[in-house]
Structure 1
Amino acid sequence: MRAWQLPAFGLDKLTLHDLPEPVPGPGEVLVRIEAASVNPRDSQIIAGHFTPHVDFPLVPLSDGAGTVTAVGAGVTRVAVGDLVAPGFFPHWLEGEALGDERKVSGGLETAGVLREYGVYAEHALVKAPAGLTAAELACFPCAGLTAWTALVEKSAIGAGNWVLIQGTGGVATAALQLAHALGANSIVLSSSNERLARARDLGATETINYRETPDWGERAYGIAGHGVDAVVEIGGAGTLPQSLAAIRHGGHVNVIGYVAGAALDLTVFPLIIRNANIHGIGTGHRANLEALLAFVGEKGLHPVIARRYPFHDAPAALRDLDAGGFQGKLVIDFAT
């Protein structure tokens, strides 16, 4: 089988190899991987910015999907022919991760999905709802689940609530689609009026160009009337003060990214005044991924795929991820 491997840090080091096709043992499943999506974490791992502790050579990328082609003895959760995706944390099945549930993640501590075949423990896989392709399913294990955990598990967003969403990338666009399907109102931030127009097409109630409106937190608070119920916080330290200005009393700020800074220097007064709930979101567990996919199937949702790349041009997807300027997800579609 073909597989991309990273022998050392640096995207220029990522090379294509022929490796033996793996064989499933008892309780294991062989998956023919058909698509993979890229996330900022993948790029950070490859560049050496995420952690120095990588067991090379590494097959990168956490998020993928494909078809079950063989199963080992005792497998009952999936069958040959099922379209499946491995979970981001293969051993985090439900509840809070109080032990080693998050010790292993795809594309770092264990081989990722940038290969034609992979063997997985049956408990690490989730099945696709009807109507999704492999390329679409590959968009959910990290970005989609992160948005779901923030909106549903942590913030209990439902009909009539207000959500402030920073940006138009993979997590942000998933959050917009989910908020709309949940019956909530959404306010989307971007510096691009073109992407804000696209956000309105996807269901955004209001949009704010943050370059034109630097005090966007106050503006969002006013739009919602009493402040927003939840923020999908992509910026991190640099945007958190505005997010706190935007939320209602008792509102939720879900910290997902740190594109505007990682070092937090904040007085406690805004937290106390707003009675704020601050949640750090690190994707989620299998039970939530299954709940998300059930919701996706029920509502007939499809992720926004900005661009598709063939398997042999996988590094281009990572370069474009770093360049930005797109809306939704970048997907490596092996059949392209």
Structure 2
Amino acid sequence: MAPSSQKQWTVLNADKDFDGLKYDDAPVPKVGENEVLVKLHGASLNYRDLIIPKGKYPFPLNLPVVPGSDGAGEIVEVGSKVNQFKKGDKIVTLFNQLHQFGAVDAAASNSGLGGVIDGTLRQYGVFNENGVVRAPSNLNFLESSTLTCAGLTSWNALYGLKPLQPGQTVLVQGTGGVSIFALQFAKAAGATVIATTSSDAKGKKLKELGADHVINYKTQPNWGEIARGLTRDNAGVDHIIEVGGSGTLQQSFKCIKFEGVISIIGFLGGMDPKTMPGVLDTLSHICTVRGVYVGSKALMKDMVRAIEANDIHPVVDEKVFSLDKAREAYEYMWGQNHFGKLTIKIE
């Protein structure tokens, strides 16, 4: 039986920076007939988690809220009408709880864990059975906890619209969670991977992870042309994982292949209207530019099967925080001290 109380974090304010986070005792939620109670063992942070208390998150919020979308754990209780899971099953949370299959819609976009619905930075959580997915059998809880946002976003980018094919070329930007997942998924699919990074040290790690080509965008700012030159007949790149913003998007257009897909994941480098390419650039380059908002439960189940079949292990930062040190984890990640996914062990 689960205890009656637990430790959890709460975002109280979205304008007080990390001072808006509170760690306190809270009741363990009761299970409804279509719900499961999960003993959470691991969580991982995303850039989204950091900007919510900073008041910079552009999507719906319902404060106060338990932060964190990404979590993995074990089901300890099931509701009377649950039929997808049983006690003892190991699960991973789904980011948008109402996004079950197909394209995301307005209702699904308003069901994000850690923003609208209480998330994973707590010891126990109740979720609708449709809001969790079976965890990969080859991963531990910390590894599994990284799949909810970064893993599924990269999988959606590569397979949600125009599925990646063996022999194609994928370009990933930087060493964030989405980019590293995309590198791993692309290599498992038999694709060639070009990676961009800001340092030779990170470039070495990207090579170790399987990148075929690494370009330092600090020393080679015209990396778009260089990347195109690395493709067969200079035809260009089939899929680009675009995380940078205005400046990197300019370079992405320079290396995208006709009928290629640029998946917009983030804008870490900022949005400058003066340097932002226009919508007509999609016509002059004959390509698709697509915003990606995580993905559906159906896509996540496909991703889990691929992770098991190829024994893919997420890249997890060597530093792991305990639940009570989550605020320190926020600071550590904000300082860009991590490589891969930053995780929190929950006892």
Show the counterpart of 1:120.
127
Taking the aligned partners of 2:144 and 2:78, their CA distance within structure 1 comes to 21
Show the counterpart of 2:3.
none
Q: Compare 186-195 and 153-162 and name the one that shifted more.
A: 153-162
Show the counterpart of 1:286.
297
1:320 deviation in Å?
1.6
Q: Is the CA contact (8 Å cut-off) linking 1:236 and 1:256 kept in structure 2?
A: no
Unaligned runs of 5+ in 1: none
Correspondence 1:242-261 to 2 at 5 A: 242-261=251-270
SS where residue 133 of structure 2 aligns?
A: strand
How many correspondences in the alignment?
335
Q: Is the CA contact (8 Å cut-off) linking 2:262 and 2:289 kept in structure 1?
A: yes
Residue 329, structure 1, aligned to residue 329, structure 2: no
Q: Is the CA contact (8 Å cut-off) linking 1:155 and 1:230 kept in structure 2?
A: no
TM-score (normalizing by structure 1) = 0.96
CA 1:53–1:218 in structure 2 vs 1: closer, same or farther (change >3 Å)? closer
> What amino acid maps onto 2:70 in structure 1?
D
Match of 1:232 among 231, 237, 241: 241
CA 1:240–1:194 in structure 2 vs 1: closer, same or farther (change >3 Å)? same
CA RMSD of aligned residues (A): 1.5
> What amino acid maps onto 1:288 in structure 2?
L
Taking the aligned partners of 1:207 and 1:327, their CA distance within structure 2 comes to 16
Correspondence 1:85-234 to 2 at 5 A: 85-225=92-232, 226-234=235-243
SS where residue 130 of structure 1 aligns?
A: coil
Identity of aligned residues (%): 34
Q: Is the CA contact (8 Å cut-off) linking 2:188 and 2:310 kept in structure 1?
A: yes
Taking the aligned partners of 2:156 and 2:189, their CA distance within structure 1 comes to 13
Q: Is the CA contact (8 Å cut-off) linking 1:216 and 1:242 kept in structure 2?
A: yes
Q: Is the CA contact (8 Å cut-off) linking 1:36 and 1:64 kept in structure 2?
A: yes
Residue 319, structure 1, aligned to residue 331, structure 2: yes
Correspondence 1:49-88 to 2 at 5 A: 49-51=56-58, 54-88=61-95
> What amino acid maps onto 1:314 in structure 2?
A
Taking the aligned partners of 2:140 and 2:108, their CA distance within structure 1 comes to 29
Q: Is the CA contact (8 Å cut-off) linking 2:60 and 2:116 kept in structure 1?
A: no
CA 1:5–1:260 in structure 2 vs 1: closer, same or farther (change >3 Å)? same
1:153 deviation in Å?
1.8
Residue 274, structure 1, aligned to residue 304, structure 2: no
Taking the aligned partners of 2:52 and 2:329, their CA distance within structure 1 comes to 15
> What amino acid maps onto 2:13 in structure 1?
A
TM-score (normalizing by structure 2) = 0.93
Show the counterpart of 2:271.
262
Q: Compare 302-311 and 45-54 and name the one that shifted more.
A: 45-54
> What amino acid maps onto 2:343 in structure 1?
V
Unaligned runs of 5+ in 2: 1-5
Q: Is the CA contact (8 Å cut-off) linking 2:44 and 2:146 kept in structure 1?
A: yes
Show the counterpart of 1:310.
322
1:12 deviation in Å?
2.1
> What amino acid maps onto 1:330 in structure 2?
L
Residue 6, structure 1, aligned to residue 18, structure 2: no
Taking the aligned partners of 2:261 and 2:24, their CA distance within structure 1 comes to 46
SS where residue 100 of structure 1 aligns?
A: helix
1:325 deviation in Å?
4.1
